[in-house]
Amino acid sequence: MPNILRSWLETHRQVLDGSRPILRNSAPPEDFGDLDTLIDRSFKAARVGIWECSLPDETLRWTDTVFELFEIEPQSKIRRDDIVALYAPESRLELKAVRDRAIETGEGFSLDARITTARGNLRWIRITAIVDRINGRSVRLFGMKQDITTEKVMFEQIRRMSEVDSLTGLTSRARFEELFREICEQPHQEPHALLLIDLDGFKAVNDRLGHQAGDAFLQLTARRLEDAAPQAVTRARLGGDEFAIIHPWQTREELTALTRQITRALNDRNSLVSHGLTVSASIGVAAIRPAATPEEIFLRADRALYSVKAGGKAAFNLDLRP
């Protein structure tokens, strides 16, 4: 933490016990030349509050902004146990771990935690802590709490955009490649197979009915894949009319039955019949073997798919070699 902020926190303990007034928006313009005023106003605008917890009695003291973050009436009487109960279970465990370590070592910490406010609203806060020690014993924790809910929502949206195909809701190609590599590199795992799927005749849907109809058909295909392979590790759209599935398997018969089920689900002779169009699926399957690289396995599935396309389409081919 920058020295200026640490110094500011350490010299503003009076805010917590009420001996120094908290600066509010009514401060006169000339006060903006004062560094304390600027920091106070900046913290308020950024939804940052100051907190203190004395040890070992666990007494809490907060500035008004922290009360606002938890949606508790400012300057209400608060108990640490009641506040900790507002944290999500996983955040509660993380907080205990880093807090215990801080008290033991004297080193501060920073933690992003999820809470449910006193009014029942979900919120993310960032906790920054400094430890005061006397004669090698921790006597006080203090620092900042900041509302980072907007930041977390934006991050989740960006993450989802990178991991989910925006048109179909299936796994994106980038995320599929990560999962595929992870599974290929796991030793002594349950057998899995890679299924590469290509829609036969889909180009005619776009050419004759337009891209809006084509997009609707791809969305229908995604739903059919979900219904046909509900136990898949992932169902992904690789691009255009190309899809992939990673699925566990035990026997050739089991994998053959699954692949046949997917082929039947994607062979569409009804929804487009009035337009004189049909769409089918060609599928190439390769077993994921520990001795092979992800590139080798993908190439095997791709070659199996190509053999189906060359042999008349609307079928599948399995490469389950060791």
Whether 100 sits among the annotated catalytic residues: the reply is no
The residue annotated as part of the active site, out of 147, 165, 200, 241, is: 241
241 within 8 A of 198, measured Cβ to Cβ: yes
Q: Which residues are catalytic?
A: 241
